[in-house]
Amino acid sequence: MLIGVPKEIKDHEYRVGLTPSSVRELVAAGHQVLVEHDAGAGIGAGDAAYGQAGARIGTAEEVFASAEMIVKVKEPLAPERARLQPGQVLFTYLHLAADPQQCQELLASGAICIAYETVTAPGGGLPLLAPMSEVAGRMSVQAAARSLERAQGGRGMLLGGVPGVAAARLVVLGAGVVGSNAALMAVGSGAQVVVIDRSLEALRRIEQRFGARVLTVFSNRDNVEAHVRSADVVIGAVLVPGAAAPRLVSRELLAGMQPGSVVVDVAIDQGGCFETSRPTTHTDPTYVVEGVVHYCVTNMPGAVPLTSAHALNHATLPYVMALADKGWQRALREDVHLLHGLNVAAGKLTCRQVASSLGMPFHPPQGLLED
């Protein structure tokens, strides 16, 4: 198979779909890889490194025109969507539940669109979302600490405080991969940490990991309202696989927080879990509503591409290899967990959660898997 790797064009997105090491593995398996010029520059991998791994170097136009499968990191933006071809496989993050325009244009393209974030694992979980959730969870605390600074519009607090001065109170909504990694960083900073979730099992895992350093709280309206109001920082880390994130914090509740408090919405790719959330970029990462600083960058891990691109490739390469070796139909027939990643195929919406979130017709994917 001819696999194409375009350069990411989202604002300050420095990751790359395939690293040179991944390219070498694919070439050794008999596949061809066409990489756009400078696609790996953000991770310090120049065209020479890709050439040594066995790739050819070309333009974005050549990549989209000739590749049988496109491997990316972030969702295709409008210029990229316009280049997709019927039957071409796109393997990347999509987050369609919060992006009806992208969904409509992918349907119109006729491409086969497989989303990292809805591929499942045999033992449960989302193996291609987890690495970036780990990065984003850890980065959320860095972003919160920065946003609390007075020059950034925050309260002027040091997250961990100092002897004799209280540390910031940091509340994490969600005890999954993002939430547990946010808690890890927040505990290390010295902040007062509260984790809220409706899964008692998830809360038990947090308690077993952190002990008394983290207060675990069952999620209901009373508890969310009480802890959000008293927080200096709230990190939104909730996830419903494939679907839009639940709005847990209303504008009215947000208005009850101290001026200069901070919210970091890691769920913004799926629409966000604060009523006042809207997507931001690394160029312009924050805005203020009701006196509260909002950090809602949709590609947080793109700021640390050397870490995140390699972490992502470690997870995605086996699936890229399966799709290349077998073709998308056979690969999905033989792996129901990869099948769960199929969101759009031949003009049909094949992910039930996305269809429900967007109010669009759902088409079971099994009928599309015949050779």
* Buried b or exposed e, range 307-337, using 16+ CB within 10 angstroms: bbbbbbbebbbebbbbbbeebbeebbbebeb
SS3 at position 249: strand
How far, CA to CA in Å, does 12 sit from each of 107, 258, 319?
Answer: 27, 31, 26
Which residues have a catalytic role annotated?
Answer: 95, 269
Residues 168, 157: contact at Cβ < 8 Å? Answer: yes
How far, CA to CA in Å, does 235 sit from each of 128, 160, 302, 327?
Answer: 22, 16, 19, 40
Residues 153, 261: contact at Cβ < 8 Å? Answer: no
Report the 10 Å Cβ neighbour count for 370: 7
Q: Which residue has the tokens 């066409």?
A: 34
d(CA 195, CA 170): 9
Strands of 252-303, DSSP E: 262-265, 286-289, 292-295
Residues 221, 215: contact at Cβ < 8 Å? Answer: no
SS3 at position 262: strand
Alpha helices in the chain (DSSP H): 20-28, 47-53, 60-66, 78-81, 100-109, 130-147, 177-189, 200-210, 221-229, 251-254, 305-326, 328-334, 336-339, 352-358
SS3 at position 269: helix
